[in-house]
Structure 1
Amino acid sequence: MAYPRLILTKDPQSLLAENSNNDAVILVTPTTTCETSPIVNGVLEAVAGVDKRLGAEVMLIHAPSLCGGRLIHCATGPIDRDYDDVRNFGDAAAKGIELAKESGAKNPLLLVEGVPGHEAFQRATSVAYLSICQKLWQPLEAREALNESEIEPIETIGLLDIRSEVNAEFLDAVESGRRLARDLCGTNPERFAPPAFADYCVEAFEDSGLEVSVIDDQDEIVDKFPLLAAVARSSRQVPRHQARVINLEYTGEGPIEKTLILIGKGVTFDTGGADLKVGGHMAGMSRDKGGAAAVAGFMKTVAMCQPKGLKVIATLGMVRNSIGAECFVADEIIQAHSGVRVRIGNTDAEGRLVMADLLSHGREKAKSAVAPELMTVATLTGHAALAAGPYTIMIENGPARDQQVANKLEAAGEAWGDGVEVGRSRREDWHIIRPRTKADDVLSSNNGPSVSVARGHQFPMAFLALAAGLDKHGSQSEQPLAYTHIDIAGSGIENSDWQHGKPTGSPLIAMAARYLSE
């Protein structure tokens, strides 16, 4: 899992040809000048006199005095409007690295200038680096089939850190985790069916310091995770598609001060089951494992950061929602691990079923944990993508809202360019999932697509809380437990292109910034 190695420098002389091993300068700035280097500034002044494109688009400039003879000027555009944010720097850097790669550079030096003094932009250089890595990533299968050095030719990224902003070890851990998350999410449904996904995780976490275990006994899965097993029922007859439950655990040094309990949705392919996806909507459903991939990536980052006083327990539910004679169907009533009787409303609302029993087990662990926070992470609803576009949505229960869990994650994500929007659980959400007869306790979903239902991305959190028994642990209970549902249907893939877009690993950056950053 190679990716561009980060090399920090504070010496402006490294911009010059005779003092550098770099082969291009990538200048990301809202201006057409350079404060750091008079030589770079002179090059820009000369270009500005003859080419009005400077500052309006990304430009490759021949500059023999600079390293590699290349200066790539990346204009951020305006950064003083109410809606501008640190991603302006990241977007410009991504365009710059693409031009650098096309020009033949392999070891560019990045310089970020013109950063406003207020807090919202203080991570601009780090965001620029992470955006570069996102742009450069190529799918695992492409790297396996083709010459990796040709399709990912950038070897190092030099960072000229004049402002002493960058924590290189933290950035390396974040990008390592994101790369694992992208690889796990962005790979085809046969390459990473549940058993292969689990095997790859075991290999990825070898010698990481994490405790890793995989439940592969299908009868045990039926016994402990009946809702997950129902989704996986039609795939059980195909050994390479059989369900897996992956457990990852990190325990930091010293007294534990906080416990994160994370549940990741890992549907390696979603046909919709008996409620079959039609009209071309099945394409891209191999990425329905993005929640599990993001959680696995976060655990990679945790293992590299080794935070003290933190315990992280992650469980990934890996299934294939296949269709066939054995598939589960609407109207079935299944008793969850929590004891709650769940009536199936729509088999294409499978993700909440995959996570509910895992969350119930997490609830049991949380009751004896130190300062627990429970989270589910999932590519759950098309409604989330419609409602919030490319942003992660977080819906909290009462205790999580009391503790400002989502608001703190939102602030961390905003500073690092991993946007989060905070929603609310309302009484209407609980009304949607109410039982209609005495035969069941909760309805898993309505029988229509989430995009056409009011509060389509909010009410699944109510179902998850009730089906997992967390409704008994609200703010007014004897033992409140903070629970946050995280829907990444809009943020997990670039440009909402589920079949071809690059996975992003969201909300890994926001979570790392919140729980792991100094």
Structure 2
Amino acid sequence: MDYRSTVAHGPALSQLNADALLVVFTADQGSTGDPVLDQIARDAIAAGDFALKAGKSLYVHRPAGVKASRVVLLAAADATPKALKAAVAKGVAHIKDLGAAHAALAVAAGVTLEAAHAHALVLAVADATYIYTHTKPSAPKPGQLRKVTLACTQDEAAGVKRGLAEGQAVAEGVTLARELGNRPGNHCTPSFLASEAKRLGREFKSLKVEVLDRPALEKLGMGSFLSVTNGSAQPPKFIILRYQGAAASQAPLVLVGKGITFDTGGISIKPSAGMDEMKFDMGGAASVLGTFRAVAELQPRINLIGLVPACENMPSGTATKPGDVVTSMSGQTIEVLNTDAEGRLILCDALTYAERLKPAAVIDIATLTGACVIALGNQHSGLFSADDELAQALLKAGQQAQDTAWRMPLDDEYAEGLKSNFADIANVGGREGGAITAACFLAKFTKAYRWAHLDIAGSAWKSGGAKGGTGRPVGLLTRFILDQAAAGKEAIVPRAVKAVKAVKAAGSSRTTPLRQETAAAPTRAPRVRTARVSAASNKV
């Protein structure tokens, strides 16, 4: 899709050269300043065909005085980017199956367009026009729409142009994540994910991709990850993506994405109803690849590393059994009480591997627990972190990207359930607080760095008639990365560096110098809260 902007307002709007013109009003802004368009809207309102109420729309064919042969009147709830996105989605639904190859969008006078509005426009169009076709030859053919132009004022032009560029990069990343999630498990295997990562590396020279196979994983001591792969004929892959947009001395952000390409539950097998949706259990991996796709396009000044442990979780005569004890890369032993709590078993080794990268912060993304879906539904991703600064940065990015998260607790009291009589830690615990205890299991492997966990079990895909991947949280992650790249000295830094900065700041406010030993002391990490996970709190 070709996204552009043009400077046009007032009477020029009805003369925009396009096949279709979408006109967005709000309850408070019912005029465009174009006499022709405003008269069409007034007549439609008088006839009862249109109203300035959120969600209302009207298609008008070949209206007199308008250059575009198709006009769609749209009413948004307000002038926010979120409301504009919803209105545009409705407008595109009117025209996407028609003969319109070029659509223009105009907003009511008094609505000030910013980069966020342009960004929202692109996401709305990309979402409305996406069609899955890979394994469905009978799928509808893509519509004719190939170009979208946003009309703006001269003062708005720079911000709109920036928003369109960012939105298009994010939309491409979201579409990639959706497509990977929608592929069936016999198509999207661990090897396929690895090949897709390598394809990205070939497409974008700024990306470097490395894939580790079983022998390398055995050498690293990733016994927890490998235990999940024991029942599958598909070989495991550990995918490493690197983007270096800043000096090598700058600590990288690290994204870790769960890549279970199909999850039967293993020996603790899931019920058959809904098991087909476990092809989406690689949503974390898909979001990491989608985010790298967006970042490679936008080229921010930041260093970023992606880690994707990818495998299947299958039952067989060689599969890990309930009660087995495995040794993680960290050296901690794990009693596998439930083989359907496998996501945390592959993530914990990836999180241990992340320590050697000396990260500024690590964020893992996983379709981890059904308990998170019960807690938050499908609106918000679950956010877990003991680091207030990191958590707030992620929450802010989610709000800006319209890809929201909700912060969940990580209190010490949840920790008791993870105790085991036969290993250092159990992989599941009691029924209550399952999403929290799953996060707390992961926290035991992240004590060396700043860390956050996103449970996207409720947000990575939709069920029912609209079944399919959503591409979330590519938007949140990309916004967070761009914010960090633009933050300069305010960007998140490794824990030890943060502690030294705090000491220096405290020292600058004193009238006498600090003793030398004081500056070295506060590098001790804040305590990470832990807890225990329930067998009933997994995806199904």
Tell me, yes or no, whether TM beats 0.5: yes
The farther-off stretch of 51-60 and 348-357 is 51-60
Aligned to 2:3: 6
Q: Which amino acid aligns with 2:296?
A: A
Q: Which amino acid aligns with 1:330?
A: P
Find 1:274's aligned residue among 267, 271, 274. Answer: 267
Instruction: Report the Cα offset of residue 86 of structure 1.
Output: 4.2
3-state SS of the aligned residue for 1:151? coil
Find 1:446's aligned residue among 406, 424, 429. Answer: 429
Instruction: Report the Cα offset of residue 423 of structure 1.
Output: 1.6
Instruction: Report the Cα offset of residue 275 of structure 1.
Output: 0.9
The farther-off stretch of 8-17 and 420-429 is 8-17
Find 1:169's aligned residue among 165, 168, 171. Answer: 165
**Do the aligned residues in 2 keep the contact of 1:122 with 1:415 (CA within 8 Å)?**
no
Q: Which runs of 5+ in 1 are unaligned?
A: 448-452, 474-480
1:17-416 aligned within 5 A: 17=15, 19-20=16-17, 22-31=18-27, 33-56=30-53, 57-62=56-61, 63-77=63-77, 79=78, 86-113=81-108, 123-141=116-134, 145=137, 150-162=141-153, 163-164=156-157, 165-166=159-160, 167=162, 168-208=164-204, 209-216=206-213, 218-224=214-220, 225-235=222-232, 238=233, 241-254=234-247, 256-308=249-301, 310-366=302-358, 369=359, 372-389=360-377, 390-397=379-386, 400-401=387-388, 404-416=389-401
Instruction: Report the Cα offset of residue 115 of structure 1.
Output: 7.7
Closer/same/farther in 2, CA of residues 289 and 87 from structure 1, 3 Å limit:
same
In 2, Cα distance between the equivalents of 1:243 and 1:114?
Answer: 56
Aligned to 1:516: 482
Instruction: Note the aligned Cα RMSD (angstroms).
Output: 2.5
In 2, Cα distance between the equivalents of 1:14 and 1:145?
Answer: 43
TM normalised by structure 2 equals 0.81
Aligned to 2:498: none
Instruction: Report the Cα offset of residue 34 of structure 1.
Output: 3.0
Find 1:506's aligned residue among 472, 494, 505. Answer: 472
Instruction: Report the Cα offset of residue 104 of structure 1.
Output: 3.1
Map Cα deviations across residues 295-318 of structure 1 (whole Å, 9 max, x no partner).
11111111111111x111101111
The farther-off stretch of 94-103 and 314-323 is 94-103
**Do the aligned residues in 2 keep the contact of 1:269 with 1:287 (CA within 8 Å)?**
yes
Map Cα deviations across residues 251-287 of structure 1 (whole Å, 9 max, x no partner).
1144654521111001111111111111503121101
Find 1:463's aligned residue among 420, 441, 452. Answer: 441
Instruction: Report the Cα offset of residue 122 of structure 1.
Output: 7.2
In 1, Cα distance between the equivalents of 2:105 and 2:142?
Answer: 21
Aligned to 1:16: 14
Map Cα deviations across residues 87-109 of structure 1 (whole Å, 9 max, x no partner).
33222211111111134322211
**Do the aligned residues in 2 keep the contact of 1:284 with 1:499 (CA within 8 Å)?**
no
Aligned to 2:413: 428
In 2, Cα distance between the equivalents of 1:14 and 1:179?
Answer: 34
Q: Which amino acid aligns with 1:487?
A: D
In 2, Cα distance between the equivalents of 1:273 and 1:346?
Answer: 9
Closer/same/farther in 2, CA of residues 502 and 9 from structure 1, 3 Å limit:
farther
**Do the aligned residues in 1 keep the contact of 2:325 with 2:334 (CA within 8 Å)?**
yes
**Do the aligned residues in 1 keep the contact of 2:132 with 2:139 (CA within 8 Å)?**
no
Q: Which amino acid aligns with 1:460?
A: A
Closer/same/farther in 2, CA of residues 504 and 258 from structure 1, 3 Å limit:
farther
Map Cα deviations across residues 408-464 of structure 1 (whole Å, 9 max, x no partner).
2212221231111112211133222123x1x311111137xxxxx321111111111
Aligned to 1:477: none
In 2, Cα distance between the equivalents of 1:219 and 1:122?
Answer: 48
The farther-off stretch of 130-139 and 483-492 is 130-139
Q: Which amino acid aligns with 2:14?
A: L
In 2, Cα distance between the equivalents of 1:222 and 1:231?
Answer: 13
In 2, Cα distance between the equivalents of 1:37 and 1:44?
Answer: 11
In 2, Cα distance between the equivalents of 1:396 and 1:338?
Answer: 20
In 1, Cα distance between the equivalents of 2:293 and 2:12?
Answer: 32
Map Cα deviations across residues 172-216 of structure 1 (whole Å, 9 max, x no partner).
211121121111111111111111221122113314111111113
Percent identical among aligned pairs is 23
Aligned to 2:528: none
In 2, Cα distance between the equivalents of 1:274 and 1:462?
Answer: 24
**Do the aligned residues in 2 keep the contact of 1:93 with 1:129 (CA within 8 Å)?**
no
Aligned length, in residue pairs: 471
Find 1:419's aligned residue among 401, 404, 410. Answer: 404
Aligned to 1:476: none
Instruction: Report the Cα offset of residue 52 of structure 1.
Output: 4.3
